[in-house]
Each structure stands twice: as structure tokens, then as C-alpha cells.
Amino acid sequence: MSDISFVRTDMLPEQEPPATTVGFVGWARANLFSSPLNAILSILSIVAVLFVLSVILPWAFMSSWNATSLTDCREQIAAAYGPDHHGACWAVIKDRWVQLVFGFYPPYPIDGTAHLGSPPEGAWPAYFRPIATFVLILTAVAPVLFDKLPRKMLLITAVFPFLMPWMMWGGTFWNPVGAMLGFGIGYLAYRFIAPIAGSLAGVIAAALLPIIWWLFLMGGFASTMQSIIALDIPTVNSRKFGGFTVSIFIGVVAIVGSLPLGIILALGRQSDLLIVKALCVGFIEFIRGVPLITLLFVASTLLNIFLPPGTEFDIILRVLIMVTLFASAYMAEVVRGGLAALPRGQYEAADALGLDYWKAQRLIIMPQALKISIPGIVSTFIGIFKDTTLVSIIAILDPLGLTAGIRANAQWNGIYWELFAFIAFVFFIFCFSMSRYSMYLERKLKTSH
């Protein structure tokens, strides 16, 4: 019987993959034209997108940037592109961008009023305070978002919640100092009382004493220190806040405040203490069952009814409290979902290591729960930032609220889409940035393969 076995002695040389399986062509074949149905749907979608772009792009780019009114804008577009062309009048953005960004915030708040034309001698640069506040926001959140930055920058993060309101509203510098002292009093109260009377008594003292300080003693402290060392800047009324300044201000405060409150509420909802659990569940379910606009109406109109006569409660401060509480209820459910997703073995491992409740939460449970909850947390942040536009309903002039005044002006009466397109674009930049950072953080913290 003859031997017909064959053993290869030479390997075939490597070849490039077929051109139809790599690059854009390969991606299109795999994702757009993988079957007859997908091919039909892809072609219809491409035609629809091209049709929309054929309408939007000429309107957006064959436009006017230098007109002084809507009539002048239309005349310039007709002269440049023909009488039948309807282009965008971006000149309204060029003319009113300062108002859309800063609202009616005084550009030179030396004496608390706006100075038109040239600034008076010695005046601060235009809109120094809101611009400096925005820079402070970026500086404060940078070490939290990116761990490669120097840890010393966290000092700026710690003082940011106290400096930001002072820079925007003004007044004496001793108000933020007094607010910081309240937290110091709470910390010292816990350190001294907890070892003597127990942790529960320490927590109650740490919460109660700062409230007493802020409500009854801080005002006298600030007045006394101001009389000794005068450090103040002009006060700006909340009704002058507006534009993207107020949207960013409310959004940042609500985002920063809602995450720790949401974590506390999520832990309280899972607590074995009946009173704590009942309070947390009741708060979360009530807030989640009421529309935000209802809470804003309560903050703007009904809240003063329950306050003593003559009490002044700043409208922006009321909105900040309501939006933060509203966001914290939703954040609590997001964090609770992350806690529920953890295997029971993680809790048992913490117990086996001999960790107490708070150390277990800080070192083992909460880092993993927050990592799982990143998409939901960022989605809640994006929702909070977009919901700041609802404040226009209670007469706070955010960008949407300002559009009504701009369109009522005789120069720009009748303009519409350009203002809303610009506002939508700015909101998209902020929200898209948060979404990209969320994806970056998920990739960075990914431990599974």
C-alpha cells in the first residue's frame, strides 16, 4: 500500500486582508449593508440625513453676522444670496451674546451698579466676578476629575463652596468665613462628644450646633469682624443674575450638593434604624413623585408664607435648595441601584476584615457601588443641568427667559430659531463633555477583561 501522506515544509506568506473587510468599507459592510433589510434602511436613512442637511447647512452658513437689526439682516442676506434665500441671522448672537451669558449682572460692580460705556477709573475688568467664579469652578473640580493633578489643589475644592456664593452675591468676606467655621464647630463637637456620649449623640451635636451657629450667631460674628477689618465687595441682587451664568451657577451647586446628599439618603434607605429609614424613604418618594416645576413654584411663592414677617429669603438661594433636594432624591436611587448590584460577599468580606460600618462603606462598598453607578450618576447630572431652564417660569432670566426680552425688542422682533439654536449648542457642549468624561472614567476604572 502506497504512502500518500503529505507534510508541508514551506509556510505561505502573510497577505493583507481583503479590502472589503477593513477600513470604512469593511465597517459599512458589517454595520450598514449586512443584509438586504439593513441595506434598504441604511439607504433611506442616508437620504433623510442628506435632505435635512441640504436645508440646514445653507440656512446656517449662508447667513449674516454683521447686521444691526432683523430687517438689516434680511437685506444683507437678500443682497448676497438672492431674494428667495432664507438664511440665519446670527448677528443677534453677536449683538446680544453678553446678555445671554451674563444676564443683567453688573459689568463693573464697584458701587453695585452697572456703568455703561467706558469703565470708571480703577474699575475692575468687565464681568470680573462671574468670569473669576467660572475659573474657580474649573480649578475646584479639576483635582476631583483628574487624579494626576497635585493633591494640594483639593484645598481649592474645599473652599470653593464658600467662595463661590460670596463672589457672585458680594457682601462681607466674613460671611464665607463664618460658614466655614460652622463646619469646624460641627467637627469639633463630634470629636469631643462622641467619645463621651456615644456616636449618635456626637452626630446629633455635629448637626445641631452648626445650624444654631449659622442661624443665630454667624451674623453677629460677621458684623463684628467687618467692623474690625473691613473686607467686602459690592452686593449684587439676585434679580440681576441671568443668562448662562445663572444656569451654570444653579447646575454646579445642584450637582455638587446632590451627590453627597444622594449617598446619605441611599445609605439611610438601607439603614436598620426604623426612623432613619422611614425619613429617607418618605423624602425620596415624595420628591420623586412631585414635578420639579411644582417645587420651584413652592420655593418662589409659597415658602414666604411659612416664614416670619419681614424675613428675606433670597430667590436664587431658594431655587438652589429645591433643585439640590430634587436631584438628591434621584441620585439616591441611582446609588441604591449600585449598592444592590454588589454581591453579598463584599459585605461579608468587610465584616471578616473587622471593619466598622463607616470604614466598610468608605473603603470597600461605596467605591464599587459608585463605579457601577457612573452612567446613572452622569445621566442625573446632565438632567439637572438641563432642568435649570425651568427657572425661567418663576421669573429668573436664564438664557431661555432672556430670549423673550430679546425678541420683544424692536430691532430683533420676529427672530426665533437663531437664539434657540445658539442656546441648544451651548447646552450640548456642556452635556456632551459630561458624557465623554463619564466614558473616560468607565474605561479608566474598568477592572474586568
Amino acid letter, residue 345 = G
- In the predicted model, what is the mean pLDDT of the chain? 85
CA distance 365 to 116: 56
Amino acid letter, residue 443 = R
Residues 341 and 428 both lie in one domain: yes
Query: Which conformational region is residue 103 in: left (phi greater than 0), alpha (psi within -120 to 50 degrees), or beta?
Result: left
Closest by alpha carbon to 328, among 359, 358, 292, 364? 292
Q: Which of 11-20, 26-35, 306-315, 392-401 has the lowest mean pLDDT?
A: 306-315
Q: What percent of the chain has pLDDT over 90?
A: 23
User: Chain centroid to CA 46: how far?
Assistant: 34
Range of the domain at 208: 171-233
Domain end position, chosen among 190, 218, 233: 233
Which DSSP string do the residues of 278-322 spell out, in sequence order? Answer: HHHHHHHHHHHTS-HHHHHHIIIIIGGGGSPTT----HHHHHHHH
Task: Judge whether residue 113 has pLDDT over 50.
Answer: no
Residues 329 and 199 both lie in one domain: no
Task: Judge whether residue 122 has pLDDT over 60.
Answer: no
Asked if residues 415 and 407 have their Cβ atoms less than 8 Å apart, the reply is yes
- 113 in a domain, yes or no? no
Kindly state the average pLDDT of the residues 116-133.
Answer: 64
Kindly state the average pLDDT of the residues 172-187.
Answer: 91
- 144 in a domain, yes or no? yes
Residues 43 and 89 both lie in one domain: yes
Residues 89 and 185 both lie in one domain: no
Q: What is the pLDDT of residue 109?
A: 47
Structural domains in the chain (count): 4
- 13 in a domain, yes or no? no
Q: What is the pLDDT of residue 332?
A: 93
Residues 391 and 372 both lie in one domain: yes
- 217 in a domain, yes or no? yes
Amino acid letter, residue 190 = Y
Model confidence at 309, pLDDT cuts 50, 70, 90, reads low
Q: What is the pLDDT of residue 3?
A: 63
Residues 306 and 224 both lie in one domain: no
Kindly state the average pLDDT of the residues 260-267.
Answer: 91
Task: Judge whether residue 117 has pLDDT over 50.
Answer: no
pLDDT digits (tens, 9 = 90+) for 349-407: 888 888 888 888 888 888 888 888 888 999 999 999 998 888 888 878 889 888 888 88
Q: What is the pLDDT of residue 225?
A: 92
Q: What percent of the chain has pLDDT over 70?
A: 92
CA distance 105 to 406: 16
Residues 387 and 262 both lie in one domain: yes
CA distances to 147, 322, 326, 387 from 291, in Å: 37, 11, 9, 11
- 333 in a domain, yes or no? yes
Task: Judge whether residue 327 has pLDDT over 90.
Answer: yes
Cell of 110: 464697584
Q: What is the pLDDT of residue 6?
A: 67
Kindly state the average pLDDT of the residues 297-325.
Answer: 77
Residues 154 and 276 both lie in one domain: no
Closest by alpha carbon to 246, among 99, 148, 135? 99
More confident residue, 69 or 111: 69
Which CATH number goes with the domain that contains 302? 1.10.3720.10
Kindly state the average pLDDT of the residues 170-177.
Answer: 90
Model confidence at 11, pLDDT cuts 50, 70, 90, reads confident
Q: What is the pLDDT of residue 1?
A: 57
pLDDT digits (tens, 9 = 90+) for 208-261: 999 899 888 898 999 999 999 888 888 888 888 888 999 998 999 899 889 999
- 325 in a domain, yes or no? yes
Residues 424 and 303 both lie in one domain: yes
CA distance 236 to 345: 54
Q: What is the pLDDT of residue 328?
A: 94
Kindly state the average pLDDT of the residues 412-426.
Answer: 90
Residues 243 and 321 both lie in one domain: yes
Residues 252 and 225 both lie in one domain: no
CA distance 155 to 402: 36
Which DSSP string do the residues of 130-180 spell out, in sequence order? Answer: HHHHHHHHHHHHHHHH-TTS-GGGHHHHHHHHHHHHHHHH-EETHHHHHHH
- 17 in a domain, yes or no? no
- 109 in a domain, yes or no? no
Residues 399 and 252 both lie in one domain: yes
> Which 3-state string (H, E, C) describes 256-275?
HHHHHHHHHHHHHHCCCCHH
Q: What is the pLDDT of residue 311?
A: 61
Cα Dmax for the chain: 116
Cell of 366: 461605596
Determine what percent of the chain falls in helix, strand and coil, rounding each to the nearest 5: 70, 0, 25
Task: Judge whether residue 115 has pLDDT over 50.
Answer: no
Kindly state the average pLDDT of the residues 59-72.
Answer: 87
More confident residue, 404 or 4: 404
Task: Judge whether residue 112 has pLDDT over 60.
Answer: no
Cell of 5: 501522506
Q: What is the pLDDT of residue 307?
A: 63
What stretches of 62-153 show up as alpha helix (H) in DSSP? 70-81, 91-102, 128-145
